[in-house]
Amino acid sequence: MFGSANNYISGVLRAAEDYDGENLGTFLSLRDVHVQNHNLYISQPEKLVERMLKPPLDEVVGSHLKVLYYLSQEPPNYMEAYNHQAASCSAVVKLLQQLKDENWCLPLMYRVCLDLRYLAQACEKHCRGFTPGHILEKAADCMMACFRVCAADGRASEEDTKRLGMMNLVNQLFKIYFRINKLHLCKPLIRAIDNCSFKDSFPLPEQITYKYFVGRRAMFDSNYRMAVEDLSYAFTYCPDRFKSNKRLILIYLVPVKMLLGYLPRKSMLERYDLLLFHDLALALKAGNVKKFDEIVHEHELVLIRSGIYLLVEKLKFIVYRNLFKKVFAIRKTHQLDMGDFLSALQFVGVTDVSLDETHCIVANLIYEGKIKGYISYAHNKLVVSKQNPFPSLIST
């Protein structure tokens, strides 16, 4: 597209003079076709860009050209490329601060921050000698500088405020914090969005991504109802053409809803290739502890990689609850012998459990509110409430 570096920089200048943030963002994107232009692989582009561009835009473009230079090496020098991308991000912060009551350059900020995250991930993969997550966390610090400028722009009109860029940055930061397992850093970001007067005015794709991550965080905080609300929003509004994204949302939404007593439809799970949850739901409904354990063991690696292993393990208490409810239905008495629960466990194939362990299981079910009653240790009995001894999971 650009025969020479001068033509490229002239294009950048025109986009800036036209206040065309989208086009300017394309000029600074590592996914644009210009990255294949060998004429742009310049190790020291400072004089060239300073002659044609004013600061701090000259710093943004100069750093970008250095990124292209280091990525063109064989093998690519990801660390140097990342360092110059970080410098480009810092220059964008200066540009944001310079443009009072203007937000046309937000698309440029989005591209620079996105590529910063991609390069940080490449460094994590290819560069040795760093603590895992260190470079990504540094990248997050650079993005936070952009975020602070956007969040502080409270005087501009709603159309011109840089606060409109907050959710895009928050989503980028979420992706880093989840990757490096620092979810506590999400809390102030969520608070900033919640306190934003026009939080429902952000672009729908950004809201979907935001709800997905906020739902996952609520899930880790054991706030399952909020998790269902946010993940359901993300799933409902995610367009059907993004099937892989909808599947990703369901990986978290389905087990959370199961914890609240809602079993998934087989047809939906078939559509998104998630029949694992159908098998779990059948074992859960039947109170078949042995079958449930076998399914979890078979898919253990998948569950761990998805980050839902512990969540699925919590479903096991519902399996116990459903099995013991069958004992109650058979005995038809409110004073149930603990030995009957042990026999039920052995009946479904759990042969390595003792009476003391059975007591512990029942005690936990009482503690979690899944059984209403108390254990009489003197008589080795569970005395359940005469009113709704096994409360509905949906209503708890």
Q: Which pLDDT value is given to residue 3?
A: 67
Predicted local distance difference test score (pLDDT) of residue 370: 95
pLDDT tens track for 335-353: 999 999 999 999 999 999 9
pLDDT tens-digit map of 53-100: 999 999 999 999 999 999 999 999 999 999 999 999 999 999 999 998
**In Å, how far from its chain's centre is CA 101?**
32
What is the pLDDT at residue 395? 54
Rounded CA-CA distance 381/355 in Å is 12
Residue 2: what pLDDT?
56
pLDDT at residue 159 in the model: 87
Cβ–Cβ < 8 Å for 389, 372: yes
Beta-carbon contacts of residue 86 (< 8 Å; ≥ 6 apart): 116, 138, 139, 142
Distances (CA, A) of 210 to 174, 185, 269: 8, 15, 24
pLDDT at 396: 46
All residue ranges of the chain with pLDDT < 70 are: 1-3, 156, 395-396
3-state helix/strand/coil string of the chain: CCCCHHHHHHHHHHHHHCCCHHHHHHHCCCCCHHHHCHHHCCCCCHHHHHHHCCCCHHHHHHHHHHHHHHHCCCCCCHHHHHHHHHHHHHHHHHHHHHCCCCCCCHHHHHHHHHHHHHHHHHHHHHCCCCCCCHHHHHHHHHHHHHHHHHHCCCCCCCCCCHHHHHHHHHHHHHHHHHHCCCHHHHHHHHHHHHCCCCHHHCCHHHHHHHHHHHHHHHHHCCCHHHHHHHHHHHHHHCCCCCHHHHHHHHHHHHHHHHHCCCCCCHHHHHHCCCHHHHHHHHHHHHCCHHHHHHHHHHCHHHHHHHCCHHHHHHCHHHHHHHHHHHHHHHHCCCEEEHHHHHHHHHHCCCCCCCHHHHHHHHHHHHHCCCCCEEEECCCCEEEECCCCCCCCCCCC
pTM for the structure as a whole: 0.93
